[in-house]
Structure 1
Amino acid sequence: MQLLAVPMASSGGGGITLLLPLILIVGMIWFMSRSQKKQRQRQADTVAALAPGSKVITTSGLVGIVEETDDEYVTLEISDGVLVQVVKGAIGRVLPEEDGTDDATDAADDADATDGPEAEKVDVPDAPGAKADGKVQDAPKLPPTHTEN
């Protein structure tokens, strides 16, 4: 009796199936490090652009106006005459400059709103129970919180 060794049928592409998860993991790590690098660069640009008079928010939520910048620290005025020194890395973002033209147009709109006879009529669409025609409707009834047997 003679035994013959017959090779087993193999599934094609065995190396590719093992290599694919490794490629995906390396790609995810590269993508995450790339986004962190962009975020660090954006923070460095923000800190480099600091100038006296800029309004900033720190990472802890402190709002102030830049008075002075140093190599490592920024001096912020958080209230009239109150100066705080923080590390440059603590500056979260710079607030955009506000124009004075918005205040002037808002004041003109407020003056126009009180001139006419309809200035007394106030329409509050979000008020509960109020309709646009001024009538009050019944408040919706809530379902009972328990059942009675």
Structure 2
Amino acid sequence: MQLLAVPLASGGGGITLLLPLILIVGMIWFMSRTQRKQRERQQQTVAALRPGTKVITTSGLVGIVEETDDEYVTLEISEGVLVQVVKAAVGRVIPDEDAADESAVPVEAADEAADEAADKDPVDVPGASKTDGKVQDAPKLPPTHTEN
């Protein structure tokens, strides 16, 4: 039996071998760039920690910063309960409630909307019976299966 070497039929053999290598290098560069940006954002978050800031750790623990030092942050997770965590464990900062209140609907507008809803006719719930002005659920059917 004789083996014959057959030359490649395509003319661009060098570029076809180089293209996957270029794609792999590009993907690695893009992923490292994304990770670097995430690390920088985490460092900025940790550097901005001040007492009174409300944070969530990477494990989901919510607390208020009491004090910070070089490596650790002391969080108050409940009244009088302090926990010390590594600074890198701080996942994100929860915005202040004051800023959230400014974007919310004013109290007067919410009260007016509630008054308008109360002035409308009550809604009849099909299948519900009224007793002494209270709405009761319709009777429930027995289960359709039996256990042996």
Same fold judged by TM-score > 0.5?
yes
Aligned to 2:14: 15
- Whole-Å separation in 1 of the counterparts to 2:92 and 2:8: 62
Aligned to 1:86: 85
**Residues 47 and 19 from structure 1, CA distance in 2 versus in 1: closer, same or farther, beyond 3 angstroms?**
same
TM-score, normalisation: structure 2 = 0.69
> Deviations 1:94-127 (Å, cap 9, x if unpaired)?
01112178389553244334556x51548xxxxx
How much has 1:49 moved relative to structure 2? 0.6
- Whole-Å separation in 2 of the counterparts to 1:95 and 1:82: 19
- Once the two structures are superposed, the pairs formed by residues 1-149 of structure 1 within 5 Å of their partners are 11-99=10-98, 102=101, 106-113=106-113, 115=115, 118-119=117-118, 121=120, 134-136=123-125
**Residues 14 and 98 from structure 1, CA distance in 2 versus in 1: closer, same or farther, beyond 3 angstroms?**
same
- Whole-Å separation in 1 of the counterparts to 2:115 and 2:8: 92
| RMSD (CA atoms) | 2.9
The structure that is strand-richer by fraction is 2
How much has 1:13 moved relative to structure 2? 1.4
> Match for 1:46: what amino acid?
T
Q: Secondary structure at the match of 1:99?
A: helix
100-109 or 9-18, which deviates more? 100-109
**Residues 9 and 27 from structure 1, CA distance in 2 versus in 1: closer, same or farther, beyond 3 angstroms?**
closer
How many residues matched? 121
Which stretches in structure 2 are left out of the alignment for 5+ residues?
1-6, 128-148
- Whole-Å separation in 1 of the counterparts to 2:9 and 2:110: 82
> Deviations 1:42-64 (Å, cap 9, x if unpaired)?
10110001011100000011111
Aligned to 2:135: none
TM-score, normalisation: structure 1 = 0.68
Which stretches in structure 1 are left out of the alignment for 5+ residues?
1-7, 123-132, 139-149
- Whole-Å separation in 2 of the counterparts to 1:57 and 1:109: 32
> Match for 1:74: what amino acid?
V
> Deviations 1:19-68 (Å, cap 9, x if unpaired)?
00010011111111110111111101100010111000000111111000
